[in-house]
Structure 1
Amino acid sequence: MALGFGAPLAFLSYVFGESERSFHQEAAPGRPDRVLMVADVAGGFSVDPVYRMELVSGSGWSARHWSVGVRWKSSRAVWDGPDRITVTGGSAVMVFDVLADGSLSAPREEPLPPKH
């Protein structure tokens, strides 16, 4: 009897839950203690990806997680140096500086570079 309900419940939790479809992590240049993590958390509510981005500073039980944000399909987060994260999407670039304690600065908006 439990097996009969288990499969539909697992399917519904996948469709309506926050299951991660893809995941990427990258350490900062020269700073293995700083990792940028990007996960597609759209689950079943969207065919388009929804990216959750965060910075993990430190390691193990003392690692701190700092939210870079949640962005829709066209966003891209990358390291732009050991202390700078840029998120490109739409018509602007959001820039985050990683402070000495591993936390994030408030984001600042910069215009997109011109296309060649």
Structure 2
Amino acid sequence: MMITRGARAEQAGPRPDDRTDVERRFLRAGLGALAVLALLAAIGQYNARSGGFLLLREWLDRPLLFFTLALPCLLAVLFNLRWWLWLRVVLGVCVMLAAALTVPLWIFLDDPATTHIETAPGRPDRRLVVQEQGWSLNSVEWVYVDEGSGLTARRWEIAFVGRPGTYAKATWVGPNRIQVSSDGPGGMVDLADDGHPMNPLTED
């Protein structure tokens, strides 16, 4: 009886990890790569907000790139997991479909193009930047102010124009004031000492 109970207890216990050393390395590498990509994407999204660091925004605010890089890492993780085979197959097919869907996005989705840069009068560390998104059916434009230089430069959003056939024009009225005009309503935007807008404009 004691031998039987011991055998049953051994059978009911956790199954040993039958992965090879290579599979364990691939699993750890895949999980580590996913964690790094998620961290970099989070940093990019955080600095994409108004007032974020310009350098981190330009380098890391690339969700499509990080999503595409994460797909092979996710496949490597799924291949080395010891889940049910049907579940791994279903998840693998979903990953492959997601990879196929990124192809037209890479073809048709362009980064916003800078159409105008102007330095503030008497403030060489403060620049007015106008960008346009070329892929959209609407005329989508952003007006920014880049404050500072080098690693500490920040980008503040001054205005957003997203109506069909509407084009934004922005110019300096003074070192701390910008005039924004478009086919729709415009206005004056005053800047604080650190460059952030006191009264940002948005048009939907």
Query: Given the two structures, how large is their TM-score scaled by the length of structure 1?
Result: 0.69
2:120 to 23, 28, 35: 28
| Cα drift, residue 28 of structure 1 | 0.4
CA distance in 1, matches of 2:145, 2:167: 19
1:40-51 matches, within 5 Å, as: 40-43=132-135, 45-46=136-137, 49-51=139-141
Match of 1:77 in 2: 170
2:111 to 16, 19, 37: 19
The alignment-based identity, stated in percent, is 31
Alignment size in residue pairs: 98
Q: 99-108 or 76-85: which moved more?
A: 99-108
| Cα drift, residue 13 of structure 1 | 2.1
Please give the per-residue CA displacement for 1:57-103, whole angstroms capped at 9, x wherever unaligned: 11111111111122143221111111101111235322111112222
1:1-116 matches, within 5 Å, as: 9=103, 12-15=105-108, 17-43=109-135, 45-46=136-137, 49-72=139-162, 73-107=166-200
Distance 1:90 1:23, change over 3 A: closer
- State the secondary structure of the residue aligned to 2:106: helix
Q: Which runs of 4+ in 1 moved over 6 A?
A: none
Residues 121 and 174, structure 2, Cα contact 8 Å, conserved in 1: yes
Q: RMSD over aligned Cα, in angstroms?
A: 2.5
Hey, which of these two has a bigger chunk of helix by percent?
Answer: 2
Hey, which of these two has a bigger chunk of strand by percent?
Answer: 1
CA distance in 1, matches of 2:199, 2:113: 28
| Cα drift, residue 12 of structure 1 | 4.2
| Cα drift, residue 22 of structure 1 | 4.5
Structure number, greater radius of gyration: 2
Q: Which runs of 5+ in 2 are unaligned?
A: 1-102
User: Residue 161 of structure 2 aligns to which amino acid in structure 1?
Assistant: R
- State the secondary structure of the residue aligned to 2:186: strand
Q: Which runs of 5+ in 1 are unaligned?
A: 1-8, 109-116
| Cα drift, residue 52 of structure 1 | 1.6
